[in-house]
Structure 1
């Protein structure tokens, strides 16, 4: 049983929402952030980067307290308003590739996370979890929903479709050329139908936001232990999520860019690869793999196709079927000596959208910054779910998932 509840969102006014909404803080370069804050007094970046006001870098709990102050200022100035009735929020994104994403913003249960009803497919870093938990405890809100996916449901789809025939609360476009729409759902009967449909589901899956959900869970545990009257309905027992059907989820992959060949010559490296792959030199024409267990490699000005020799590789678990895991077990770790995919500074990642990203991989290597690059096919939703169901975790940067959400459009306070 999946528990979702409506909540009173804090959100920008209709006139200012397009100016307030921002990409996640870390996705901007320093110059991009400064430019936006120079010319846009309403951007959510002013809240999450409060040191900008004082022209200095502020970190740790001092920064978190200032984030809280900036947030309260936005409320006091009327940039943010608070809905007067708990609601679900139907949310639609049409991105620059004309991909359409439809779903519901709701508060989801930390207890469901604990009980593995909300399932994970990616490892998290403990330090980041604890750091973000402290941040949440100080600021008192979620500003960017966790992306969850659920099995396609005809009743929920019909509610979304009918809701979208009404006038939207928000309709705005971003500089990334994506357009966002939001509708309130505060009719008690419709809310009950939505909740009943989710209660009939056994599980939902985290698509994006593993650290945010893990940190919200840690905060829930801490607050629960301190509260002798805890009953599970407290605001800290929930975190904000955007739930979309599986058919709307888009998964891309990440290229792997490696800075050296681990003291091997090009010839020695290719010979070691031959143990697990059939190798074909494709020359200078960009090559992208067309099926699972096929890879592209760019090395020394040439593309190669690598076909896994399945007689030499054991498929013991669902994780072993994942191309990112195959690449790690056959090349990155045993040949290139990269054991810690999260922290080894010899490896970088670049998300993919097809041939253009293969060309970008080539440019990165030709620049001399990297020595070799690898590309693979996109993982599937069924792979992601099976790995989560089996209690296994994908290597980092196994999936680049769309949609990418914005901060500051709906805010959940706790």
Structure 2
């Protein structure tokens, strides 16, 4: 699979549009594992909760008795009820770890400079590595629509209920919301990187997928105050963690109600901010991957599909044999990526057909320049012009599978896991920004920002 670098953004214009917006970030006394009591960082960290399956959950439980999975994604047990369940167990476990010293709060307000060195998915493992850079702090909660923070995705009620139950029981954030800001001169991370040169990383290890994880605790007030001041004029765009941000807003309202407060609270409370990893939009280590669709319901024949889309798309067929499949697949994917830079371009493969098909949207069917940012997205066009025709019912669309891996999508169609693979190019970060600032939300499964930050490197424990 090809990884997609962030496209060029007119960052100066981006900043000028929002000169009056105030976003507040705070250094905080993060809770971090004491390796002498809890074990090595590699053994107590975990991937984001929403990408962990049942097998992965059990493996993390078995790896180390202090793995953060016990807090972030506890296991249900027989006999669970309102007073004893995975949320209450997480709260009790957190209290126990804080009391024992397995988790310790840093003595001074701190900003955590974080880097992830990685090989992009599908790239040569021995080839060039990229490095995502950012910093972890707490962000003062603001409602959407105030101009301080922008979402780009819709959320689902069930996920927010789960996260709210956890926040109520633990009064903590275990994983950072990942957000973006613009800093074309790299002022903020340069200051943090310079400060990090004089201290050893607090966390440094190679994770399960071979990524190099590093975290520095920067508590020098001269540095942290510079970061706070530089961030004050910047709008924030959520990359990953919409459910957790909305949950933090709901938790804030709940705590204010419990305190009998209405309107503006006198003085900031711990629940008025949320844990956040902040990365510059311009960072060359930021990668956005596409999310391909794989249908699982019956589809028309290959020739019928070609006839269905001939009026809307310019079609190019890539037939292959068992001997030429690998080379033809590479050619097909490359054509989709290259031509997709200038026109909406999709790829299609059907179960039982030894050919790939590219679909380049004809000029007459492209949205006008005046169309909304959401309408012009490749993922919106795919849904409207392709998915809706191949899978016209809601039931068929709900049965669609998703993957960020080109080859996995094509293999699923070939081996019968699915009936057809629909490939698309990655959404650009500039498009995410345009949709968000227009007050729109992107279609389901539009973006996959990469690499995802781990859970458990530093936590925001609000009580005590």
Aligned to 1:163: 195
> What residue in structure 2 maps to residue 67 of structure 1?
90
Alignment partner, residue 271 of structure 1: 307
Contact map agreement 1:90 1:163 (CA 8 A) in 2: no
Q: TM-score, normalised by structure 1?
A: 0.90
CA separation in 2, counterparts of 1:334 and 1:261? 12
Q: Is the 8 A contact 1:51 1:57 kept in 2?
A: no
* Aligned-pair CA distance for 1:48: 3.7
- Tell me the alpha carbon deviations over residues 13-38 of structure 1, each in whole angstroms, 9 at most, x when there is no partner: 24532221111234334333323322
Instruction: Give CA-to-partner distance per residue, 1:263-298, whole Å, 9 cap, x none.
Output: x44433332222311111111321221224011111
Alignment root-mean-square deviation, CA:
2.3
| Residue in structure 1 matched with residue 294 of structure 2 by the alignment | 257
8 Å Cα contact 2:203/2:457 also seen in 1:
no
Partner of residue 241 from structure 1, selected from 266, 276, 279: 276
How far off its partner does 1:211 sit? 0.8
The secondary structure found in structure 1 opposite 2:278 is: strand
Change in Cα spacing, 1:58 to 1:410, as seen in structure 2 (3 Å) is: farther
Answer yes or no: is the 8 Å Cα contact 2:373–2:431 preserved in 1: yes
Q: Distance in 1 between matches of 2:287 and 2:360?
A: 25
In the alignment, which residue of structure 1 is the partner of 2:31?
10
Q: Which moved further from structure 2: 71-80 or 389-398?
A: 71-80
* Pairwise CA distance, 1:327: 0.2
> 1: distance between equivalents of 2:52 and 2:165?
23
Matching residue within 82, 95, 102 for 2:105: 82
Measured in 1, the distance between the counterparts of 2:393 and 2:102 equals 48
Aligned to 1:94: 117
Distance 1:87 1:149 in 2: 20
Q: How much has 1:91 moved relative to structure 2?
A: 1.1
- 1:339: Cα distance to partner? 4.8
Contact 2:294 2:420 in 1 (8 A): yes
In the alignment, is the contact (CA less than 8 A) between 2:196 and 2:218 conserved in 1? no
Q: Which residue of the other structure, out of 124, 127, 143, is the alignment partner of 2:158?
A: 127
Determine the C-alpha separation between the residues in 2 that align with 1:295 and 1:275. Answer: 15
1:204 aligns with 2:227: no
Residue matched to 2:186: 154
2:12 aligned residue: none
1:141 to 135, 153, 172: 172
In the alignment, the residues of structure 1 paired with residue 79 and residue 174 of structure 2 have an alpha-carbon distance, to the nearest angstrom, of 22
**Paired residue secondary structure (2:32):** strand
Aligned-partner Cα distance in 1 for 2:364–2:313: 10
Q: Which residue of structure 1 aligns with residue 223 of structure 2?
A: 190
**Which residue in 2 is equivalent to 1:281?**
317
* TM-superposed deviation, 1:126: 2.6
Conservation of the 8 A alpha-carbon contact between 1:6 and 1:87: yes
**Which whole-Å deviations, capped at 9, do the CAs of 1:334-380 have from their partners, x for residues lacking one?**
44215589xx432111013xxxx2x3222111221211111111111
| Partners of 1:2 and 1:112 within 8 A in 2 | no
Structure 1, 191-200 or 226-235: larger mean CA deviation: 226-235
Q: Quick check: 1:51–1:58 contact (8 Å CA) kept in 2? A: no
Aligned to 1:375: 423
Query: What is the rounded CA distance, in whole Å, between the counterparts of 1:96 and 1:240 in structure 2?
Result: 26
| SS at 1:321 equivalent | coil
Q: Normalising by the residue count of structure 2, what TM-score does the alignment of the two structures yield?
A: 0.81
Contact map agreement 1:4 1:106 (CA 8 A) in 2: yes
- Give the aligned partner of residue 348 of structure 2: 297
For residues 335 and 60 of structure 1, do their structure 2 counterparts lie closer, same or farther at Cα, with a shift above 3 Å needed? farther
8 Å contact from structure 1 (residues 129, 211) kept in 2: yes
> 1:115, CA displacement in angstroms?
1.9
Structure 2 residue 377 is the aligned partner of structure 1 residue 322:
yes
CA contact (8 A) 1:90 1:104 kept: yes
Gaps of 5+ in 1: none
Partner of 2:461: 413
Matched with 1:400 is 448
Tell whether the 8 Å contact from 2:427 to 2:447 is kept in structure 1 after alignment: yes
Q: Counterpart in 2 of 1:25?
A: 49
Distance 2:81 2:106 in 1: 32
